[in-house]
Amino acid sequence: MFDTPTTQVWHQLFEQGKLNAAQSTFWQTKPVEELYDLKTDPDEVNNLAGLDKYREVVANMRDAQQQWERRIKDAGFLSEWEIHSRSKGSSPYEMGHDARQYDFEAVFAAANLASSLREADLPEIAKLLHSNDPAVRYWGAIGLLAQEKKGVAIGHDQLVDALKDASPIVQITAAEAIGRFGTPQDTAAALKVLLHYAQPEADAYLSMAAWNSLDYLDEQAQSAAQEIHDLSPAPKNPPPRYGDYGKRLKQETIVDLH
């Protein structure tokens, strides 16, 4: 999401503690599951998912959603880069329904584990980075990143190793994790990876991911400020409808450096 004057003011008020609970939720980590009564709560303010009264409703809806995911073999559990990489020469739909190209159950299980946001799951999430499937490793990095400092502390060594992973999207995700929540030395190593994939010569989907990660590093990317200023955000082979997305990403990244 790119900042607008309205969201900038909104975020500033949040950081100053001037928002009420409902207004603050936009800037906070979203819960793993949400359930709202749209008749009495059309603005979706009161999350009912954690209440015992609705436990069966949540379980039924969770089961229905998972059955649907399995039925359609949802390729959305792959990163955008991997969707296009794996489906080259065919289509995401065909790739997603080919078990040789997409082990849906393994990736789906990894995604569910990684998105649990349970600290107790962190050792198992870190183990995902040892999988033979790069999509599973990607979720391992995502899961550690999602739990921020705790995740990086548990999976630090695996994330450092992942900076040299065979999958570039795993490298980028691991770089964001240790770049944001690791040591200054980790950040320096992460910046090398992110600046490499942010180059216009890189695959456009990898370039977008790298620029997004640089943006999230905020002032921790300050040591690379000049390189970021000098770097073109426009991939040489942009996908359809790419427009000025890279330009806006760079602008947002530079703003957050200060």
Q: What domains can be seen in the chain, in order of their start residue? A: 72-256 (1.25.10)
CA distance 112 to 55: 18
pLDDT tens, position by position, 158-175: 999 999 999 999 999 999
Q: Which of 168, 171, 167, 165 is nearest to 145 (CA)?
A: 171
pLDDT for 26 equals 87
Half-sphere exposure of 160 (CA within 13 A, CB side): 11
197, 200, 206, 209 alpha-carbon torsion, rounded to 10°: 80
Residue 237 phi, psi (nearest 5) = -130, 75
> Residue 257's pLDDT band (boundaries 50, 70, 90)?
confident
What are the residue ranges of helices labelled H in 99-146?
Answer: 104-114, 122-127, 134-146
pLDDT tens, position by position, 189-223: 999 999 999 999 999 999 999 999 999 999 999 99
Query: Are 102 and 132 within 8 A, CB to CB?
Result: no
Q: Which of 131, 126, 138 is nearest to 86 (CA)?
A: 138
Rounded to 10°, the helix 204-217/184-197 angle is 150
In the block, residue with structure tokens 């065979």: 166
pTM of the model: 0.92
> Residue 8's pLDDT band (boundaries 50, 70, 90)?
confident
**What does pLDDT average to over the chain?**
94
pLDDT for 6 equals 80
In the block, residue with structure tokens 């995902």: 128
pLDDT tens, position by position, 13-49: 998 999 999 899 888 888 999 999 999 999 999 999 9
Looking at residues 43-63, what average pLDDT do you find? 96
Q: What percent of the chain has pLDDT over 70?
A: 98
Instruction: Answer yes or no: is pLDDT of 1 > 70.
Output: no
Instruction: Answer yes or no: is pLDDT of 4 > 70.
Output: no
